[in-house]
A and B are shown apart, each in its own frame.
Chain A
C-alpha cells in the first residue's frame, strides 16, 4: 500500500491541519515508511479473535443523575484566546 498525494491532502483536511508548501510530499514519504511497518499486521490470521479495545474488561459505571459541578466559566475562560459576554468567540459561521 502506498498513499497518494491526494490521499495525504484529504487526511490532513479531515484532521484540520494545514500543510505548508512542500510539506505534503515530505509527509507522504514518512507516512508510507510507517505504513510499511504497520502492514506487517496484515499477514496475521485473526479470524475469530475478538477486538480488544481496553486493557480491563470492566463495565462503565453509572452515577446518579444530578448536578455535581459548579459553574467555573470565569476561571476556565480566563485562558481562552477570545471571549465576550461569557461566550467563546470564533469567526462568523452563519451569515
Chain B
C-alpha cells in the first residue's frame, strides 16, 4: 500500500479492502519509526489525523467519496491549517496555531483527504537544502549524508520515504522541483495564478505558487485537480474554467516538439546529471517526440534578478512579523521600536535576515531604480526569451538541478553557492510559467537525478501527458529508497 498510486488507493478504499483509518495508521506508524532520522515532519497529530480518517470512512460509506477521499497526504508547513501548529520552519511562528485554513487546505478538506502532518521546510521557504529550518535539516531518504533539497524538503523526503502517499509544496524559485529532483519524485509548479495563495504564508508574492509532490505524474494530476481553481480571496488568482489535469495523460507523444535550451547543457552541469538527462531525452525521441535546439539568452541573469526581486518582496511581506498580533515576541525589551527590533532579531534565522536586509536595501531611496527596476526589466527579458522559444517547441526540457543532492553542510556557509544551485529553475518563476521535475535516473553516489519539463502558460495537462508517457515506458519513478 505504501507504494500504491492514488488511483489504486482510491480503488482499494472504494472496494472496502481497507479503511481510511487503517491506511492513515499505516503511514503514522511509518512516520513514528522513520521520521526521527529523516526529520521530514515538524508536526504530527495522531488524534486529528484519525478523526479526519474516520470522517472520510463515513463519507465513503455513504457513497459520497471523490477521487481522493480517505487518502492520507502531508502538507508543507507553509499552509495555514486551522487548529494546527503552522510554523513556516521559523522560530517566529513556533507558537502559531493557525485560526483559519488556507484555500489549498480547505480544498483538500472538501476532497476528503486526511492530513498526516505538517512537513519541514526552509525557514519562510528561503533555502535550497532545508538547512535553514528552525527545526533542523531534513535528511535525504536515499542517502542520510545528503540534503533533501529545499525549500519543500520535508514534503519531498516524506513522499520519497513513503511516509505519505503525496504532499503539497510551494515553489518560488524551484522549491518544489529541486527537492523533487534530489529525492527522486515527481513535482509540479503550476502556472502563476492557477492555485490560490490565500493562507499560504507569503515569501515573494509575485513568484510563489503551490503545487503537488507525488510518486508519479498521474498522482500529481489528481492532486492538482483538487488544488487548482479560482479564489476571490487571492487577488492574483486567475478566473479560468476548471480543468481536468488528467485528461491528456494517455495521449501519444508523436509529433511533440521538445526544445533543448543550450544554456541548460553548458558549463556548470555535472556529467552524471547530463548523462541521465540526455538518456531521458533519447527516450522521448523513441516515444515519437522530436527535439529542437533553442536558446534562452538571458537565463544567466535569472539568479541575480531573482535575488533582487524575491528579497524585495520578502522584506515587505515579512514586515508583518513584529511581535504584536502573533508569533514570537522578545521576553525583554524597552520601547516599541526596541520590541520590534529584538523580536525580529530573535525570531528570524540568519538566511531570512539576510534576505530582508537585501530587500530593504534594494527598495530604499536612491537604489530602487538601479536594483529593483533593473531586475524587473530583466525579468521581462527572461519572460520574452520563453515566448520566443515556445514559437518553435511545445515543451522545454533540461536538468532540474546542476548536480545530484549535495552533502549536508556543503553549501550552508556560502549563500552565493547555495543560490546558484537554483540556476535552472528560477527563470520559470520569473516568467510565471509551469514547470515540473520527474525522476530520470541516478548519478554519483546513487543519488537521484531529475528531468525538468517546462510548459507554456497553462500547459500543465501537456506536461503531465509527457511525464506520464515517459513513466509508462520507464521505472525510475517506481524506485524507492531502502527502508
**Given A20-B345, A56-B192: A38 in contact with B336 (beta carbons within 8 A):** no
Residue A67 at the chain B interface, CB threshold 8 Å:
no
Residue A27 at the chain B interface, CB threshold 8 Å:
yes
Q: Report yes or no: B376 in contact with A41, Cβ–Cβ below 8 A.
A: no
Residue B378 at the chain A interface, CB threshold 8 Å:
yes
- What mask results when residues 32 to 54 of chain A are scored 1 for a CB within 8 Å of chain B, else 0? 01101111111010100111111
**Given A8-B357, A72-B99, A90-B339: A41 in contact with B301 (beta carbons within 8 A):** yes
- What mask results when residues 374 to 392 of chain B are scored 1 for a CB within 8 Å of chain A, else 0? 1111111101000000000
Cα A79 to Cα B82 with chains together (Å): 12
**Given A52-B376, A56-B193: A11 in contact with B364 (beta carbons within 8 A):** yes
Q: Report yes or no: A54 in contact with B206, Cβ–Cβ below 8 A.
A: yes
Residue A55 at the chain B interface, CB threshold 8 Å:
yes
Residue A66 at the chain B interface, CB threshold 8 Å:
no
Residue A15 at the chain B interface, CB threshold 8 Å:
yes
**Which residue on chain A has the smallest CB distance to residue B352?**
A17
Q: Report yes or no: B324 in contact with A88, Cβ–Cβ below 8 A.
A: yes
Q: Report yes or no: A56 in contact with B334, Cβ–Cβ below 8 A.
A: no
Q: What is the interface of chain B mostly: helix, strand, loop, or mixed?
A: helix
Q: Report yes or no: B341 in contact with A16, Cβ–Cβ below 8 A.
A: yes
Q: Report yes or no: A40 in contact with B301, Cβ–Cβ below 8 A.
A: yes
- What mask results when residues 1 to 22 of chain A are scored 1 for a CB within 8 Å of chain B, else 0? 0010001100110111111100
Cα A64 to Cα B224 with chains together (Å): 30
Q: How far is the CB of B410 from chain A (nearest CB, A)?
A: 17
Residue B308 at the chain A interface, CB threshold 8 Å:
yes
Residue A93 at the chain B interface, CB threshold 8 Å:
yes
On chain B, the residues within 8 Å of A12 by CB distance are 357
**Given A34-B416, A56-B238, A81-B323: A41 in contact with B304 (beta carbons within 8 A):** yes
Cα A72 to Cα B324 with chains together (Å): 17
Q: How far is the CB of A56 from chain B (nearest CB, A)?
A: 5
On chain A, the residues within 8 Å of B58 by CB distance are none
Q: Which residue of B300, B324, B334, B354 contacts A81 across the interface (Cβ within 8 Å)?
A: B324
Q: Which residue of B303, B345, B383 contacts A37 across the interface (Cβ within 8 Å)?
A: B303
- What mask results when residues 288 to 311 of chain B are scored 1 for a CB within 8 Å of chain A, else 0? 000000000010110111011000
Residue B315 at the chain A interface, CB threshold 8 Å:
yes
Q: Report yes or no: A16 in contact with B322, Cβ–Cβ below 8 A.
A: yes
Q: Report yes or no: B334 in contact with A91, Cβ–Cβ below 8 A.
A: yes
Q: Report yes or no: B238 in contact with A18, Cβ–Cβ below 8 A.
A: no
Q: Report yes or no: A38 in contact with B371, Cβ–Cβ below 8 A.
A: yes
Q: Report yes or no: B329 in contact with A81, Cβ–Cβ below 8 A.
A: yes
Q: How far is the CB of B188 from chain A (nearest CB, A)?
A: 16
Q: Which residue of B304, B307, B329, B383 contacts A52 across the interface (Cβ within 8 Å)?
A: B383
On chain A, the residues within 8 Å of B353 by CB distance are 17, 27
Residue A85 at the chain B interface, CB threshold 8 Å:
no
- What mask results when residues 57 to 87 of chain A are scored 1 for a CB within 8 Å of chain B, else 0? 0101101000000001001101111100000
On chain B, the residues within 8 Å of A52 by CB distance are 376-377, 379-380, 383
Q: Which residue of B192, B341, B357, B377 contacts A51 across the interface (Cβ within 8 Å)?
A: B377
Q: Which residue of A78, A81, A91 contacts B336 across the interface (Cβ within 8 Å)?
A: A91
**Which residue on chain A has the smallest CB distance to residue B93?**
A79
Q: Report yes or no: B415 in contact with A33, Cβ–Cβ below 8 A.
A: yes
**Which residue on chain B has the smallest CB distance to residue A3?**
B361
Cα A49 to Cα B370 with chains together (Å): 14
Cα A58 to Cα B322 with chains together (Å): 32
On chain A, the residues within 8 Å of B303 by CB distance are 37
- Since A34-B419, A49-B380, A81-B324 are in contact, a sample of 12 more A-B pairs with Cβ atoms closer than 8 Å, ordered by chain A residue number, is A17-B344, A37-B303, A38-B371, A39-B304, A40-B300, A41-B371, A44-B374, A44-B378, A52-B383, A56-B193, A72-B99, A93-B336
Complex A-B: 7 CB contacts under 8 Å: A16-B322, A18-B344, A31-B357, A42-B374, A52-B379, A52-B380, A53-B206
